[in-house]
Copies of this chain bind each other. A is one copy, B any other.
Amino acid sequence: MTARTDQSRATAERIIISVDAMGGDAGPEAVVAGMASFARGTPDVGFILHGPQDVLSALVAKRRDLEGRVVFCDARDVVTMDDKPSHVMRNGKGTSMWSALESVREGSAAGAVSCGNTGALMALSMLRLRKLPGVNRPAIAVLWPSRNPQGFNVMLDVGADVRADARDLLQYAMMGASYARNGLNIDRPRIGLLNVGTEEHKGRAELKEAHGLIADAAESANFDFVGFVEGIDIPGDRADVIVTDGFTGNVAIKTGEGTAKLIGDLLREAFQYSFLSRLASVLAITSLRRLQQRIDPRRVNGGVFLGLNGTVVKSHGSADATGVEAAIRLAYNLARTGFADRLAARIAAATRLLDETDMNRADTNRQRAEEGQV
């Protein structure tokens, strides 16, 4: 096998990722740096890069790892963090974000990555890629550091929509299971439904209804349902997938993020306190770096939009090159496993099943919940 054969094979089977260069806090430099870093170890990746072409081509020209890997798509407008989703939907046609999604829509790219405004990206994704048949509310799923062997749990929804009824939560369970199977290689993921207690009589009415629906779907959708879980289980090992509405999920991950950051800062202060503690930190530096890497949010950067015709990865707005690289890797891995098609097939099958046999059950549940029996 020669280098030449490798090269031509890689070109033939290239996986193309569409990248929105603009809208992130760290600017297009960080985005291009992240692309280059990922391309270095991944011979079969290619990019379509969206934004002001003059600026971007100059940045790409400096990166040898990107030579011959990038197609430019000129877009002069940028969606800012302050733009309202409704405004972007009406006036966003010239933006790099719109353009990045267009490459997925027309099939030139296997997935899109953007560091821009979450609300606008979800609104445009729904507008241009459309929801999968049978999906009412798409969701954003993230990976969260946990005690599980795989090191992470999947959590959804973390902010696509502030509401979710029982059927939405069932769909989140199925989409989350599919994502855990393809993204974390877990054959039979354990699904938990987030609540304020693990007892079946606790919590809101829609959660009790969702509990029944998810339990019924577990067998045919090939996952285990562990029932209600609590906030403490998000970084725990009771479930691989945590299902909740976008309001609760968003508050939860931001609380976790804030807590981790506070502890990190206090730890740094603690080690600065005295000569002995500064010496200690020098001795412990490798161990501390290992810990930092284990819980570094940049390593798991990327919320995946689930329930659309196509893969969209939302990178953290403040992502640096390492964060952007992680988001691109996620889009690439999902593209390679054919995740979008598998998810669509599973949702289609589940929707059929639910429509045929479970509508009655859902109605019974709802009725019971109204009568206060559940």
Residue numbers of A with Cβ under 8 A of B are: 84, 119, 145-147, 159, 162-163, 194, 196-197, 201-204, 230-236, 244, 246-248, 250-263, 265-267, 269-271, 273-274, 276-277, 279-284, 286-288, 290-291, 294-295
Is A291 within 8 A of B266, CB to CB? Answer: yes
Q: Which residues of the partner chain B approach A269 to less than 8 Å between Cβ atoms? A: 291
Is B291 within 8 A of A286, CB to CB? Answer: no
Beyond A231-B258, A270-B288, A280-B284, 19 additional pairs, beta carbon < 8 A: A159-B196, A162-B196, A162-B203, A196-B251, A230-B250, A231-B252, A231-B254, A232-B254, A235-B262, A236-B258, A247-B248, A256-B258, A259-B260, A267-B291, A270-B287, A270-B291, A271-B284, A271-B287, A276-B286
Q: Which residues of the partner chain B approach A197 to less than 8 Å between Cβ atoms? A: 119
Q: Which residues of the partner chain B approach A119 to less than 8 Å between Cβ atoms? A: 197, 202
Copies of this protein chain in the complex: 2
Interface core residue of A145, A236, A266, A283 (most chain B CB under 10 Å): A283
Is B232 within 8 A of A255, CB to CB? Answer: yes
Q: Which residues of the partner chain B approach A159 to less than 8 Å between Cβ atoms? A: 196
Q: Which residues of the partner chain B approach A259 to less than 8 Å between Cβ atoms? A: 234-235, 255-256, 259-260
> In angstroms, how far is the closest chain B Cβ from the Cβ of A140?
11
Is B287 within 8 A of A274, CB to CB? Answer: yes
> In angstroms, how far is the closest chain B Cβ from the Cβ of A155?
10
CA distance A62 to B290 in the complex (A): 48
Interface core residue of A204, A246, A267, A281 (most chain B CB under 10 Å): A267
Option from B202, B230, B235, B261 in Cβ contact (under 8 Å) with A251 = B230
Is B294 within 8 A of A284, CB to CB? Answer: no
Q: Which residues of the partner chain B approach A284 to less than 8 Å between Cβ atoms? A: 270-271, 276-277, 280-281, 284
Q: Which residues of the partner chain B approach A290 to less than 8 Å between Cβ atoms? A: 270, 273
Is A163 within 8 A of B235, CB to CB? Answer: no
Is B258 within 8 A of A232, CB to CB? Answer: yes
Given A267-B291, A273-B290, decide whether A231 and B247 contact each other with a Cβ distance below 8 A. no
The chain B residue sitting closest to A257, CB to CB, is B232
Is A263 within 8 A of B201, CB to CB? Answer: no
Option from B232, B267, B274 in Cβ contact (under 8 Å) with A286 = B274
Is A252 within 8 A of B250, CB to CB? Answer: no
Given A263-B263, A267-B291, A291-B270, decide whether A247 and B196 contact each other with a Cβ distance below 8 A. yes
Q: Which residues of the partner chain B approach A266 to less than 8 Å between Cβ atoms? A: 291, 294-295
CA distance A251 to B261 in the complex (A): 19
Is B291 within 8 A of A287, CB to CB? Answer: no
Q: Which residues of the partner chain B approach A145 to less than 8 Å between Cβ atoms? A: 262
The chain B residue sitting closest to A232, CB to CB, is B258
CA distance A147 to B146 in the complex (A): 25
Q: Which residues of the partner chain B approach A265 to less than 8 Å between Cβ atoms? A: 147
CA distance A41 to B281 in the complex (A): 37
Given A162-B203, A247-B196, A260-B259, decide whether A277 and B283 contact each other with a Cβ distance below 8 A. yes
The chain B residue sitting closest to A255, CB to CB, is B231
The chain B residue sitting closest to A285, CB to CB, is B280
